[in-house]
Structure 1
Amino acid sequence: MHDAPSTAELVEAVKRFIDDTASPQLTGHAAFHARVASNVLATILRELEQRPGAEADEKDRLIALLGADADTPLDALNRELCKRIRSGNMDLSTDGLLDHLKTTTIAQLSVDQPRYSGLALALQSRG
């Protein structure tokens, strides 16, 4: 049986090439673009690693918060949450809403901006 490299392994290999081989030989705009490419690949790696679990957790929280069926897709749950907030049926006094919003935001920042100083503080306060 042939085992192909995983998507994460392929992305990591390209990132290592950029970081270890290409970038040290570049200057100016090319060096800047190599850093941007490396950062994009790092984000993709975090997406592959963290997003599935974060979305599963988010869905579980929304099902409980909204009293929804377990087979409801995540995007539909989020649309329903937005609808209830816009209509005034839910607000920050709704039990569990603020925790859900904070937890979801922390998960998103962990993927998009893991070095954001506010994220470290939020993680520390949740510890």
Structure 2
Amino acid sequence: MQDEPTPNELIKAVADFLRSEIAPAIKGHNSFKLRVGINALDLVTRQLSLAQAADAAEAARLKQLLKIDGSLFDLNRVLSEKIASGDVDLQTPGLADHLWQTTMDKLAVDQPNYASYKREIGQQS
């Protein structure tokens, strides 16, 4: 197994090449399809870079909030059940902060150019 370049670097290099060298020459519907492909590569790059740490932080917050252990999937299921039953609501200490941070972490991966997200993190262009 090679150490360099990383999968993240390879995917980013392909996306950058497509964006700078290929996209300017493509027109019409194929241009749209190419942009969709480039966006998918950018998303995968962000997932490789950010998602694992965000998931670990989310699981840690859920474990503290719910006072139980489990997988991220199971912890989110328990939280959903507790919200649905009324056992947990926005008055529950830590819940609003957890929901906010989880949303921000997911936006960082999925939609980092979303205007409200950029404004919230102070990077509005």
TM-score norm. by structure 2 comes to 0.90
Q: Secondary structure at the match of 2:92?
A: coil
Partner of 1:116: 114
Return the letter of the residue paired with 1:123: I
- Bigger shift: residues 53-62 or 15-24: 15-24
Partner of 2:20: 20
Offset of residue 26 of structure 1: 0.7
Unmatched runs of 5 consecutive residues or more in structure 1: none
Partner of 1:77: 75
Aligned residues: 122
Give the percent of matched residue pairs that are identical in Structure 1 and Structure 2: 41
TM-score norm. by structure 1 comes to 0.88
Question: Structure 1, residues 15-65: CA drift from partner, whole Å, max 9, x if none?
Answer: 122112211211111111111111111111011101011011101100000
Aligned CA RMSD, in angstroms, stands at 1.5
Return the letter of the residue paired with 1:41: L
Return the letter of the residue paired with 1:58: E
Tell me: CA distance 1:106–1:3, structure 2 relative to 1, closer, same or farther (3 Å).
Answer: closer
Partner of 1:64: 64
